[in-house]
Structure 1
Amino acid sequence: MMKEHGTFSILATSKDWKLTGVAVTSDSTAVGLRVPHALPGVSVVATQAYTNIAYEIEGLQLLTEGLTPEKTLKKLLAGDPQREKRQVAIMDFAEGKAAFTGVEDQKHEGRLLAKTTWSLETF
């Protein structure tokens, strides 16, 4: 029997309360260090599938400098030769959102989007 692998992340922001949150569960080890990233008062980022820690470091820096989630994601993907193996979502307090799933990602991916909450799944 083939074992299914999966990762599930949820991102949320509250403009009124000035809160951010990101959580992840997975059968992979140490995802808490690689997948969820948050900068209070600025943004939340989740990078999963084949994670890239630069998405946290560079992404949060670009968002701090005022780039929108869409422009931030576009810039991150442009500089990533492995982008087709990634799944990433970004949210900010201005209700900006951006997400990407590469064509080489897992066999199933999903996204659920609401005004201030976003979930990502990879199986």
Structure 2
Amino acid sequence: MGAWQPRRPEALDAAMASVRLGPDSVGAHDALWKAAAMNGRSGLTRQAVHETLRIDPQNAWALGLRTEFAAFEASAPPLTGARAVVVVTVPRSERLVPQVLFWVALVPTLLTVWSERAAIRA
């Protein structure tokens, strides 16, 4: 892991601040797109592209990305059955899922240790 990777959330915060300070700046939305992409925030990347096209409808970068998004969505298989349920029920937060998995693994271990400790004292 590079030294810059833990600072990705800071980059996202800075990019969001730049958009707040310059909402009609293509450069601010470009920075937001990059920071959101590094943080896995696909909805925010799409919003940045949309806002760039609102400001400059002929922006080649944003038009290219919009085309890539459309091609990706067209090639994706439709969600059906259990896959759709998993997508809907699993939270999108990158921080929440590892925390939930940590506690799901830790709680049974703690309960085992606690019950064995009680058995040893008895």
Q: Which is bigger in relative contact order (C-alpha 8 A, separation at least 6)?
A: 1
Please indicate the TM-score interval, normalised by the length of the shorter structure. under 0.3
More helix, by proportion? 2
**Alignment TM-score, normalising by the size of structure 2:** 0.28
More strand, by proportion? 1
**Alignment TM-score, normalising by the size of structure 1:** 0.28
Larger radius of gyration: 2
